Amino acid sequence: MSRLAAPMNLDHVNSFFSLNKTAKLNTVPGTTLGGKRLDLKTGKAVKLGDYTTQNRRYARDRNVDQQGYAKHYQKLEEEALKSNFHERLILDDGRTEPIDLDAMSMSIDPEAARITQMPDSVTEEEANRVYVNYNFRVEYDENLAIYKSRQEAKSNQVTVIQGETGSGKTTQVPQYILDHYAKMNKYCNIIVTQPRRIAAMSISRHICSKRNWTLGHVCGYQVGMDKQSSQDTRLVYCTTGVLLQKLISQKHMNNYTHVILDEVHERDQDMDFALLVVKKLQRSNSRYVKIILMSATIESNRFARYFGVLIHGELQAAPILDIKGRAFTVQQFYLESLQSLGKLPVLDINEPTVEPQLYEIVKLLIQQFDNMEIQNYGLLLLPLHSSITGEEQNRVFRKPEPGVRKVLYR
């Protein structure tokens, strides 16, 4: 624009309704460029015909590999990792020495040795006092499948643990690590993620009950606004979303010595972003933090490649610890098995609804359960879902009386 109009006044309004001469509209000089782009060489406005679009839109190539672009960035990331990481090992006493690559598959930056593993406001003596104030004597269950591999679970910078449900990886691996550091009198702070709130709360309560700890002291949990932890807490179970928000806020993982992502095969939004953030921080400013991924499926190779480590200058998949066996037998029952009892309602996974028939089924089940209790079948029926209180959830972990079978439903 070359001229700017002055503000209108009452004369301009009156002239609109008058047949006489129109009031003169005053103008003021406009800008030098008139809203056009500045030519840095001439110092004048660029002519309209000389302007080149900065972000030109090209025709879409429909034959191109729509996922091939990721390989370019993966290569850049690998090159950056090779240039920044040095193949040196940080020992537990703080000294460094070259890695024996034939014996260890670990890469870590010696600069990480300068990063404290304790809060700035806590001295080493105060941090390790927890090992004296609390009872750390424990007898492990040797029947668990994870027991034979307890040493391997804590020896690598990044470890992928693959084990069936009931192998003991969720409850035992964090305890193995904590007790290992307690024997060495070294600071340790472990955080373990769980995909469900009830799992984080129940597992932490179970560990505290087994080891005669008060909940929220050595072991605790955090789900949403419910936080049970203290300055003495060295093992925290939390939901994946809680850890993700902590890392986004802190922009590092240096508050922890071990980050354990459990049930990584349950690929939801929080878990995918947590994997991305943990990998980025572990390769940048939190290189001394040990990462453990735990999965119950055979997709562990994908996670191992994603968290690759440098060995002899080449990026190799993280070691996988395959746990065979389980402590108890798990039986699976499917909805189709009920077809012999009658017609089943049609279920659509894309539009989840509650059919009227389901309410009738629940009603009949409740009546049958009440009859079982009345007939003294020796069954203890307990609900287990996120809507009940924490005290009601704790009832499922209490040992029933002799001759009584505990049945959980949700």
pLDDT at residue 278, rounded to an integer:
92
Most confident of 3-7, 28-32, 193-197: 193-197
Q: 66 φ, ψ to 5°?
A: -70, -15
pLDDT of residue 116: 40
Contact 136, 175 (CB under 8 A): no
Angle at 198 between CA 118 and CA 256, to 5 degrees: 10
* Amino acid in the structure at residue 242: V
Mean pLDDT in residue range 114-124: 53
* Model confidence, pTM: 0.64
**Statement: residue 104 has pLDDT above 70:** no
Between these two residues, 212 and 333, which has the higher pLDDT value? 212
pLDDT-based confidence at 90, cuts 50/70/90? very low
In which band, very low, low, confident or very high, does the pLDDT at 109 lie, cut at 50, 70 and 90?
A: very low
- Pairwise pLDDT comparison (52 vs 40), residue with the higher score: 40
Check residue 37 and give its pLDDT: 77
In whole angstroms, how far apart are CA 355 and each of 333, 346, 361?
Answer: 21, 9, 10
The residues, any chain, with a CB within 8 Å of residue 67's CB and separated by 6 or more, are none
109, 126 Cβ separation under 8 angstroms: no
- pLDDT, position 71: 78
Q: Which CATH class is domain 70-323?
A: alpha beta
Split at pLDDT 50, 70, 90, the class of 65 is low
Q: Considering only CA atoms, which of 409, 386, 394 is closest in space to residue 224? A: 386
- The pLDDT of residue 335: 75
Q: 191-222 b/e with 16+ CB inside 10 Å = b? A: bbbbbebbbbbbbbbbbbeebebebbbbbbbb
Which tens digits make up the pLDDT trace of 167-191? 788 888 999 999 999 988 888 999 9
The more confident residue out of 99 and 250 is 250
175 or 22: which leads in pLDDT: 175
Structure confidence at residue 189 (pLDDT):
92
- Which of 62-66, 101-105, 253-257 tops mean pLDDT? 253-257
Helices (H) and strands (E) in the chain, counts: 11, 16
Residue with tokens 């009452």: 10
Report residue 97's pLDDT band, with 50, 70 and 90 as the boundaries. Answer: very low
More confident of the two residues 232 and 358: 232
Residue 177 and residue 192: Cα distance in Å, rounded? 12
Q: How many CB atoms lie within 10 A of CB 156?
A: 18
Residue 7 contacts by C-beta under 8 Å, 6 or more apart in sequence? none
CA angle 379, 383, 384 (to 5 degrees): 125
pLDDT confidence bin for 16, thresholds 50/70/90: low
Ranges for all domains in the chain classified under CATH 3.40.50.300:
70-323
Pair type for strands 96-98 and 88-90: antiparallel
Query: What pLDDT does residue 333 have?
Result: 77
- Is the pLDDT score of 123 beyond 90? no
Whether pLDDT at 113 is above 80: no
| Residue 291 CB partners (closer than 8 Å, separation 6+) | 157, 158, 159, 258, 259, 260, 261, 278, 282, 307
Residue 280 has pLDDT above 70, yes or no: yes
pLDDT of residue 191: 95
| Model confidence band, residue 149 (pLDDT cutoffs 50, 70, 90) | confident
Rounded Cα distance between 289 and 277, Å, is 13
Q: Are 168 and 144 in contact (CB under 8 A)?
A: yes
Region 253-275: mean pLDDT is 90
What secondary structure letter does DSSP report for 320?
E
Residues 311-350 have pLDDT tens digits of: 777 778 888 888 876 656 667 777 777 777 777 777 777 7
Predicted confidence at residue 402, as pLDDT, reads: 79
**Integer Cα distance of 306 and 302 in angstroms:** 6
Asked whether the beta carbons of 289 and 257 are under 8 A apart, the reply is yes
Q: What is the mean pLDDT of the chain?
A: 76
Three-state secondary-structure class, residue 49? helix
What is the reported pLDDT for 108? 35
How many Cβ atoms sit within 10 Å of the Cβ of residue 6? 11
Q: What percent of the chain has pLDDT over 90?
A: 15
Buried b (16+ CB within 10 A) or exposed e, 19-54: eeeebeeeeeeeeeeeeeeeeeeeeebeeeeeeeee
190 Cβ neighbours under 8 A, 6+ residues apart? 174, 177, 178, 234, 235, 236, 256, 257, 258, 260
Residue 220 has pLDDT above 90, yes or no: yes
Q: Tell me, what's the pLDDT at 7?
A: 66
pLDDT category of residue 296 using cuts at 50, 70 and 90: confident
Q: Residue 384: what pLDDT?
A: 78
